[in-house]
Chains A and B, each alone.
Chain A
Amino acid sequence: MTHLADPVRASAHRGTDGTSPPGRSRRPSTRTTPRARRLRPLLFCAPFIVLFAGMYLAPIAYAAVSSLFALHRTGLGLTAPTARFDPLSNYTQALQDDAFTSSLVRVALFGVVQVPVMLGIALLLALLFDAKSARGRGFFRLSSFLPYAIPGVSAALVWSFMYSSQSSPINRLLEPLGAAVPFFDEDLALWSVANIVTWSWAGYNAIIIYSALQSIPSEVLEAARMDGASAIRIAWSIKIPAVRGALVLTTVFSIIGSAQLFNEPTVLQPVSGGSISSTFTPIMSAQSAVAAGNHHYAAAQSVLLAVAVGVVSFAFFKLTERKGQA
């Protein structure tokens, strides 16, 4: 990233140095000391740094510390439970909590299936947008990107009507065939959620990949065509390797998105007939711990989830890095 931006700066500096008279410093401010001058840019950043510390760093510290305290109830439960320093208690409880561990497994399964499927669709769409023979690309790009403008919660509300047995237009269309899709079946509920996420984000990712496709030099594509490579061969051997960076990026962001899964299942929960529980995803599980009054336990769950996401994202970066060098 730095590399991208810096050539611009570097060349600008060269220009300045070449044209300014010798002896004149780049920042010829008169009154201030050099030290004050060097620190002044921090004033520009100060408001952001203060808020960033308050809204990002403080919650992390707060959650980490809070997770080390466990609630202890007195034998009769007549007095309010007290928090005592007991660093491992919440973590062992979380790892033994079937609802929480199965929510982690569920989200992992979701990520392993939904992320590749969605990005596969996004890549295919991007290649189609880029295809010479496509007509009306503007319309198709727009229609795929439009769901991004719909808030996740609104998208989930609309899809809940697509799924609900009382209103599902999909099942109404299938009715004459005697078929119906049980969207809220125990086995299908997770994939009904996955469909909403895919609908919301496939087009967004397709546009990112499409932007990367635009940066392939036309001479390269031209040369391949002159050599008689087919469109599919060009897509496979030139275009897809060229958008590798965009694919890695969208994959990491999608993994992060899966870990945050909350809005869609929460909206579907009341109409799911029980197949989506209040601990369906780790965030939902942590939130129900808050609702049950156990903040410390919720904090421990959040920390575990954050660590899991960090490990997976980091491993993915490392994995793709090694492949790139090979």
Chain B
Amino acid sequence: MSTVSGKRVALRPRRETAPLSRGAVLGLLGLSALYFLFPLWWLVVSASKPFGEQFSGTGLWFDGFGLFDNIARLSSQDGGIFWRWMLNSVLYCGVGALVGTALSALTGYALAKYDFPGRGALFGTILAAVLVPKVLFTLPLYLMFSGVHLIDNPLAVLLPSVVSPFGVYLARVFAAQTVPDEVLESGRLDGAGEFRIFRSIGLRMMLPALVTIFLFQLVEIWNNYLLPSMVLGDDRLQPVTVGLVGWNASHVAVPPPLVVIGSLVSVIPLVIAFLALQRFWRAGMTAGALK
């Protein structure tokens, strides 16, 4: 892009960089940033106010400092269950995304690198599954899990989480792009078994792509609300999203300011992961756009 713009300036100076259009572009972008950041700004400001002051004033500027006290109160509410929820979320997301990524990598690699009976049908089914709303599976899954007594068992959240048709799709695209057949071939000539080749060559070459798949699954599992809210009635097993909504719906039992503070604390890990690993998101979304 930059080389193009350099050339353009040389050929035809200042055409659409007129002050008016530049002002309009920046004005619109500024408005969008205001819209997107406004609720998050409110959340940070409110959570930092002294306890009980969360809903006073416009909530758009700092007023006293009580963040640490607020976090202490959050930690002691209901015997410190908030941190238990956070831990549950981290475990469900970590384990679910890790296992899910491994399954996606194996399947995507096989789809991209081997010809086998039923390959087309398998890939077609996976693509169709990408297009079916996942929430639709939740109710039947709940009924199935009730039938086999998996309710209030972390497996009821983990098992559906590790199956990601979109992850398989991404892994297939990435494997086709990044793992050259010649390299696999030379591994075979050296007498390595197919799984060994996958582990030591395929997996290594796909690694950056696998980080992307891992992140997408992480967000999806952290976002999931309906499934855990149905299959986990025991609040000591619930992830933080389900716990916080429960607090919010309880009205008086839990003071609303705690929901504000809990919301802030619960989004921090994802925002950090997101900011730190930006380039991996970009890669996955570009692949998504190419579909």
Contact = CB atoms under 8 A, between A and B. Distances in A.
B139 A5 contact: no
Given A60-B140, A249-B289, A249-B291, A167 B55 contact: yes
Interface string A292-307: 0001001100100110
Contact of A149 (B181, B230, B274): B274
Contacts of B123: 2
A211 B285 contact: yes
B16 A132 contact: yes
Contacts of A256: 131-133
A230 interface: yes
Nearest to A298: B139
Contact of A140 (B32, B57, B127, B266): B32
B26 interface: yes
B139 A287 contact: yes
Contacts of B207: none
Contact of A59 (B3, B112, B137, B182): B137
B282 A263 contact: no
A143 B163 contact: no
Interface stretch (A23-31, A75-83, A96-104, A183-191): A23-31
Nearest to A121: B32
A155 B17 CA distance: 37
A39 interface: yes
A38 interface: yes
Nearest to B273: A149
A231 B21 contact: yes
Nearest to B104: A48
Contacts of B80: none
A151 B1 CA distance: 34
Contact of B107 (A48, A133, A302): A48
A197 interface: no
A118 B9 CA distance: 34
A252 interface: yes
Nearest to A160: B248
B245 A128 contact: no
B223 interface: yes
Nearest to A309: B133
Identify whether the interface residues of A are mostly helix, strand, loop, or mixed. helix
A1 B42 contact: no
Nearest to B224: A151
A44 B110 contact: yes
A181 interface: no
Interface of B, secondary structure class, is helix
B139 A290 contact: yes
Give the size range of A's interface with the partner.
Answer: 35 or more
Given A38-B117, A45-B111, A139 B189 contact: no
A225 interface: yes
A125 interface: yes
A158 interface: yes
A237 B182 CA distance: 43
Interface string A202-236: 01100111011010001001100110001100000
Contact of B139 (A172, A212, A286): A286
A140 B28 CA distance: 10
B136 interface: yes
Interface in B237-291: 241-242, 244-245, 248-249, 251, 259-260, 263, 266-267, 270-271, 273-275, 278, 281-282, 285-286, 288-291
Interface string B36-76: 11011011001000000011011110000000000000000
Kindly name the residue among A13, A167, A246, A267 whose own CB sees the greatest number of chain B CB atoms within 10 A.
Answer: A167
A44 to B, nearest CB: 4
Contact of B244 (A15, A154, A249, A313): A154
B87 interface: no
Given A63-B139, A259-B133, A9 B112 contact: yes
B78 interface: no
B173 A39 contact: no
Interface of A: 1-2, 4-6, 8-9, 12-13, 15-16, 19-20, 26-29, 38-42, 44-45, 47-49, 51-52, 54-56, 58-60, 62-63, 66, 121, 124-125, 128-129, 131-136, 139-140, 142-155, 157-162, 166-167, 169, 172-173, 199, 203-204, 207-209, 211-212, 214, 218, 221-222, 225-226, 230-231, 245-246, 249, 252, 256-257, 259-260, 262-263, 266-267, 269-271, 283, 286-287, 290, 295, 298-299, 302, 305-306, 309-310, 313
Closest 10 CB pairs of A and B: A59-B140, A5-B176, A41-B114, A44-B110, A149-B274, A231-B16, A167-B55, A12-B181, A133-B22, A63-B140
Interface of B: 1, 3-5, 7-8, 11-12, 15-17, 21-22, 25-26, 28-29, 32-33, 35-37, 39-40, 42-43, 46, 54-55, 57-60, 103-104, 106-107, 109-119, 122-123, 125-127, 129, 131-137, 139-144, 159-160, 162-163, 165, 168-169, 172-173, 176-177, 180-182, 185, 188-189, 194-195, 198, 219, 222-223, 225-226, 230, 241-242, 244-245, 248-249, 251, 259-260, 263, 266-267, 270-271, 273-275, 278, 281-282, 285-286, 288-291
18 contacts: A4-B290, A20-B185, A38-B115, A49-B107, A51-B103, A63-B143, A133-B16, A144-B32, A146-B271, A151-B267, A153-B242, A154-B241, A157-B245, A211-B286, A222-B4, A256-B132, A263-B225, A266-B245
Given A44-B114, A134-B26, A211-B282, 4 more contacts: A49-B122, A56-B163, A167-B55, A309-B133
